Structure 1
Amino acid sequence: MGGLSSRLWFRRGHVAEEPGAVGNVEEVVEAQAAEAQEGERSEEAQITTSHGGLKRKANPVGPLAINPRRKYANAKTRSVYEALFLRGEGSDVQIRALGQQWNLHRAYLCQSGYFDSMFSGAWREANMNTIELQMADENIDRESFHEVLGYLYHDTIIIPPNRVIAILATASMLQMDELIHQCQEIMKVSVTAQSVCRYYYSAEIYGLQNIRSICRQWLLDNLMTRCDEDLLPEVSVDLMKELIASSDLVVIEVEMNVYTTLKKWMFLQLEPTWTGPRRALLSAADLWFARHRRNSDGALFLETDLGRPFVPVFQKLRLPYIICDLPSAHIIDHDALIPATWLAPVYKKQWLALLQAEQSRELGPMEVYASDLQEYSMRCGGQIHSDEQCSWRWSGFNFGWDLVVSYTNRRIIFHRSALNKCCGLGVSLLWQRKVAFRLRLISLDTTGRAILRKDTNYHMLFLRKDEELEVMNLQEEEVVFPLYVACNFLYLPGEAGDAQSEPQGKSSEN
């Protein structure tokens, strides 16, 4: 066989036994490529300088230097591609699929694991001249199949992000690991609000765990921060359940905002053709659910036939951190989406937690487990718009804590305030309180990719009355605003377990 075919066979560890027609065609192609290279060399020899008409070749190490070997190889590859793939010269097998036929060569097709197994095994197609292929994967189309077959002859392919899934599907079917890797690299750098869900589902189908993880993290970072209503209809029930269950979800404000996002998402799942303005989405959702409630004799929505598919998602809400805020509790009651059988035990547990915080001398968690922090911690957050001093606190019960978060001089500071201002129920006057916490700081670019990510991991925080503690320092960091601050808190030792569990530690008040 010709030189190019020998290179390909060597790469796969095969030896060609019969040169056949492919080798003859390649010899002609190689001669044509050599002539093209010779012509290029002749052109290079005519380059002149402005000094006395002396002739010289271009500087071989300059920025515009020409690599004769590369140009020869490229010319040869192009010629092989055009002669063998596009024109089908010397073809020894015909592939028919998707309403089209390709006159190809077993020697090149065997670079694909799929065809290699077909032609070298006991398949009936091994000795057939015409092979009909049925595409079970709907992601494979005629264009992607043509491009991937051509890659076997050309070793070059252009993969735009909007075509990467079709190319990936075809490469996966034909068992072409190198091309699959190229698709992964394209997907890594092109995750956006428009592509993230498609990439996530494709990664699950084709076993790309790293792409799945990248897309999942993008969604955890952006689902609540971007407020992108165009993204919500693309999130499936199973994917939303996974996101809402995670303590890594970046929650802006408090858990009630997660409920609001789910309400809008569920409405768009039920009414995918809704096209109103973004600012009207929540009102449209409220009107839709109110109308459904009237038409179903006041039935709670998640107990109806329409609502049951969404139950697994809403079960992942952390209801104890919603009902502790009076306006939020009123909204939950008014919406009538969540069954009363879910809420009754939550109210009981939180009432006992209130009594424990108000009437005991609990300092806070003494021993906590990572699983408790992941599953039961309070999720809350804030946004720092510019490099200026700011502070905030989260509304709600918070178990006697008035925890103020401040950003000043590129530092994040926690301050335990002992003044009973507008912070809900009475502030605990225990001389010291403890809380298990984790703080994350994230900055996102315009595509939603994290360009800064800092994480304290979980720690136990000890604060006396009016004491403050620096929890993160950004003075040495390249900071891009806005910054998103995401926090997880576990306030009491019994939060993750039985509400009536025995206290794990006591201390006298100062």
Structure 2
Amino acid sequence: MGNILQSVMGSHVIGYGGSKRKVEEVESDDDDTMDLDSLLHTPKKRRLNSTSKYIYKTLFEEGRASDVSVVALGNEWHLHKVYLCQSPYFSSMFSGNWTETNQSQINIEILDDNINIDALHLALGQFYKDDIEVEAAQVIPLLATALLLQMDPLIDQCTCIMLETINLQTVLQYHEAARRYGVVEVDKACKQWLLHNLLTQVTDHPGTLSRIPPDLLYELLSSPHLYVMQTEFSVYVMLKAWVFLRLNHSWEGSHEAAFLDAHKYFRNRSEPGYFLEEEGKEFSLVFSALRLIYLIYHHLDVEMLYSDRILPPSWLTPASMHQWYNMLRIDQGKDRGPSEISEEEFDKSCTRCGRVLANSGQHIWRWTGYNFGLDLVMTHDGASLRLKRNHRTENIATIAQPTRRNIMYRVTVASLDEQNQVVYTKTTGVQSVSLAKNEEIRVMLLDPEVKYPLLLSANFLITTNHQLPVQPTGTSTVTAVGLPGHGNRE
């Protein structure tokens, strides 16, 4: 017995033949005991059938102990005043001198065609639980219901869902709902989405393009922050397609076919005169958002403008005269470009152009068209954007080339996610620079994490935009970029 005891203890106790390794084993066992003791006293969480789920199931879904019923759209819910009073709508109804205060049945007349039974069920159920699960397709009816019932937390949740799901399929619906219900944050976000995507995504989908209401389109086209792909003339071409689609509601086809058929439609018009003066007067406001002086930068563009017979000469002639006046001033050394003007004035007068950078490789380009002898070349090298005043000898004979030219610019870039929402953006702000011949400057350093494709929007102002002398009373005048006699609407 003693030998067995000695043999067992000898492997664990110092003085019975144990080694240093065996001493460490003793210390390790103590640590294990402490760990086990700690585990025994560490609380473990397991989700049981929660109180909120029980309340929702028994009180809302089953209507147990109901003290009031709500009837709307032919459906009835057996509910509880104590829960409904979370809403000011019901709270004032049950606590004042209203007819419904002591009634056991409340009839709600629904006048909003956006509100449906499913939305009412979701909204009323929110009085009994603290989470929500709703599809984007149902969020507008739910928002309308939440506004009717004055459920501020639910309104906030609907707003968040809408902001997260703005895309090509939802943007126009969300914008209409935001404007109808006064949800300013969603209204602003929808317009921002359209400013980035109107001339890239929306123009590729004729059905969406045709549904843009005139007042919204005017607001978008008036913005200096519109991402114009290529030049201002692309905005004019898009407008032609939009008008064609608005006039031909049953038309179906690809976006290429839409632009081609729109071109043919205006070329083949049998009506005399110009479209905006007669049958197209309702579209005049939208076309007035065009920056007219930047439509006449190429002889082929001018030929198309007059062949289409959309814009009347009373619009185009003053714009042409304005450009001719600026060219004479530059050629005769009276204008070396703008130096310092306000950002507001820059926004009204600048040209808008842009492009898509598909990858991080090197890109070198210029926006073609007449630029008063000033050839601006942009370079993207994956890390930065650079601007160069390229001195082309073929321009020497056409217009004076001063040693330095002043320009003002703003360059903005944006990366979009799978819903074409902005996930990254950076801008130079409005900058003024004086460039010598062949001088190049860096306009923007891109962040390393920038994702491609990258949308690029550029605004330039290369003349001081002096106005022609005041004309005699009774004749029309033209602003730098706006419609004769209308000025620039903001």
TM-score by length of 2: 0.83
Alpha-carbon separation, structure 2, partners of 1:115 and 1:491: 62
Q: Which amino acid aligns with 2:339?
A: M
Alignment of 1:443-454 (within 5 A): 443-454=415-426
Q: Match for 1:181: what amino acid?
A: D
5 Å-filtered alignment, 1:490-501, equals 490-493=461-464, 495=465, 498-500=467-469
| Counterpart code for 1:483 | L
Q: Please state whether the residue corresponding to 2:341 is helix, strand or coil.
A: coil
The SS at the match of 1:398 is: coil
Question: Of 388, 405, 414, which aligns to 2:387?
Answer: 414
Which residue of structure 2 lines up, in the alignment, with residue 303 of structure 1? 277
* Alignment-derived partner of residue 167 in structure 2: 192
Deviations 1:233-287 (A, max 9, x none): 2311111011000000001110000111111122222223221122211111123
Aligned to 1:228: 204
Q: Decide which of 253, 273, 288 is 2:250's aligned counterpart.
A: 273
Aligned-pair distance for 1:390? 2.0
DSSP-derived class of the 1:400 partner: coil
CA distance 1:409–1:193, shift in 2 (3 Å) = closer
1:88 aligns with 2:63: yes
State the Cα deviation string for residues 488-509 of structure 1 (Å, max 9, x = none).
Answer: 111122x2x52349xxxxxxxx
Deviations 1:95-117 (A, max 9, x none): 11111111222111111121112
**Residue pair 1:256, 1:322 contacting (<8 A) in 2 also:** yes
State the distance in 1 between where 2:430 and 2:40 align: 60
Moved >3 Å (runs of 4+) = 58-62, 65-68, 423-428
Equivalent residue, structure 1, for 2:374: 401
> Would you say 1:362 and 2:341 are equivalent positions?
no
> Aligned-pair distance for 1:169?
0.9
Alignment pair present for 1:148 and 2:123: yes
Q: Within 5 A, what are the aligned runs for 1:323-472?
A: 323-421=296-394, 426=398, 428-472=400-444
Identity rate, percent = 35
- Of 399-408 and 227-236, more deviation after overlay is shown by 227-236
* Mapped partners of 1:373, 1:425: distance in 2: 30
Query: Which of the numbers 95, 115, 118 marks the counterpart of 2:93?
Result: 118
Residues 278, 228 of structure 1: CA spacing in aligned structure 2 closer, same or farther, 3 A cutoff?
A: closer
Aligned residues of 2:267 and 2:307 also touching (Cα < 8 A): no
- Displacement after TM superposition at 1:383 (Å): 2.3
Q: Distance in 1 between matches of 2:40 and 2:185?
A: 44
Q: 1:99 aligns with which of 59, 74, 98?
A: 74
CA deviation map 1:65-120 (0-9, x unaligned): 5345xx35x2x322222222222222222211111111222111111121112222
Whether 1:241 aligns to 2:214 is no
Distance 2:212 2:341 in 1: 33
Checking the alignment, whether the CA contact within 8 Å between 2:340 and 2:432 is kept in structure 1 is no
Supply the distance in 2 between the matched residues of 1:427 and 1:349 (Cα, whole angstroms).
17
Q: Secondary structure at the match of 1:498?
A: coil
- Matched-pair contact (CA < 8 Å) for 1:418–1:427: no
Match of 2:146 in 1: 171
Report how many residues are paired: 433
> In the aligned structure 2, how far is the partner of 1:390 from the partner of 1:467?
18
Distance 2:437 2:42 in 1: 70
1:261 has 2:238 as partner: yes
Distance 1:131 1:283 in 2: 58
**Aligned letter for 1:387?**
S
1:179-218 to structure 2, matched below 5 A, reads 179-218=154-193
Q: Distance in 2 between matches of 1:128 and 1:324?
A: 73
1:188-240 Cα distance to aligned partner (Å, 9 max, x none): 21111111111122222222222222111111011112233242123111110
After TM superposition, give the deviation of residue 399 of structure 1 in Å: 2.4
CA distance in structure 1 between the aligned counterparts of 2:40 and 2:165, rounded to whole angstroms: 38
1:49 matched to which residue of 2?
Answer: none
Shift, 1:427, TM fit: 5.4
Q: Which residue of 2 aligns with 1:316?
A: 289
Alignment deviations for residues 7-61 of structure 1 (CA, whole Å, 9 cap, x no partner): xxxxxxxxxxxxxxxxxxxxxxxxxxxxxxxxxxxxxxxxxxxxxxxxx9x9997
In 1: Cα distance, 2:456 partner to 2:52 partner = 53
Structure 1 segments unaligned to the other structure (5+ residues): 1-55, 502-510
**Structure-1 residue corresponding to 2:114:** 139
Partner secondary structure for residue 204 of structure 2: coil
Instruction: Give the conservation status (yes or no) of the 8 Å contact 2:415–2:454.
Output: yes
Q: Is the 1:357–1:400 Cα contact (8 Å) retained in structure 2?
A: no
TM-score by length of 1: 0.80
Q: 1:486 to 1:426 in 2, by over 3 A?
A: farther
Post-superposition CA distance 1:143-171 (Å, at most 9, x none):
10011101112233211111111111111
Cα distance in 2 between the residues matched to 1:135 and 1:407 = 57
Q: In the superposition, relative to structure 1, how do residues 266 and 332 fare at CA in structure 2: closer, same or farther (>3 Å)?
A: same
Letter in 2 for 1:321: Y
What secondary structure, in the 3-state scheme, does the structure 2 residue paired with 1:122 have? coil
How big is the alpha-carbon RMSD for the aligned residues of Structure 1 and Structure 2? Answer: 2.4
Secondary structure of the equivalent of 2:372?
A: helix
Q: Aligned partners of 1:499 and 1:470: how far apart in 2?
A: 35
TM-superposed deviation, 1:409: 4.8
Deviation for aligned residue 1:131: 2.1
Counterpart AA for 1:146:
H
Cα separation, partners in 2 of 1:122 and 1:358, compared to 1, 3 Å: farther
Alpha-carbon contact 2:385-2:445 (below 8 Å) kept: yes
CA contact 2:383–2:448 (8 Å) conserved in 1: no
> Deviations for 1:396-425, whole angstroms, at most 9, x for unmatched residues?
22222111111125221111112145x899
Note if contact 1:139-1:165 (Cα within 8 Å) is conserved in structure 2: yes
Does 1 or 2 have the higher relative contact order (CA < 8 Å, sep 6+)? 2
Q: In 2 relative to 1, CA 320–156 (structure 1 residues): closer, same or farther, beyond 3 Å? A: same
Paired residues of 1:420 and 1:426 also in contact (CA < 8 A): no
Counterpart of 1:15?
none
Distance in structure 1 (CA, Å) of the matches to 2:75 and 2:145: 15
Choose 1 or 2 for highest CA Rg: 2
